[in-house]
Amino acid sequence: MDYLLKAASAWFMGFFPLAEIYVAVPYAIALDLDNVSVIVWTVFGNFTPALLISFLYQQLVRIPRIAKWMESLVSEKAQQRIDRWGIWFVLLATPLTGIWIMSVTAKIIQLNTARFLVSAFISILIYAIGILIVTQTGVSAFL
């Protein structure tokens, strides 16, 4: 039961918009979760908003007026750039802007959902592992 409470707490920290991965990983380490659990629960918590926003967007564009308006937001020239460079943008910007903002942005600029989800997940995972290593290295340097 203790593990489930710690895991749920780490998940929520990753999910919470102001904390996200930068706070969630050190917090999960402070909860004394093992390294695999730290990564799994914080990444899952931080990735959940991307799934939630994608689902809600699909429900929203079922309304014809909103779907038409969303399609008019991006020009064809911009769409070509997005198709070419969008994944790199997601990989680099997701940890900097946060998954909530990046998920909404990806929907507005009409980035392919599957490509966005894969690249956002990879980005979150890489940053979580990096934060875990840096945090543990920093803590062990003082012990």
Per-residue model confidence as pLDDT tens digits over 55-71: 998 888 888 888 787 77
5 to each of 28, 46, 115, how far by Cα in Å?
A: 11, 17, 33
Task: Work out how many domains the chain is built from and give that number.
Answer: 1
The domain containing residue 133 runs over which residues? 2-142
Q: Determine the Cα–Cα distance for residues 77 and 71; give it in Å rounded to an integer.
A: 13
Per-residue model confidence as pLDDT tens digits over 72-123: 766 677 667 767 777 788 888 888 888 998 888 888 888 888 888 999 999 9
Q: What is the pTM of this model?
A: 0.82
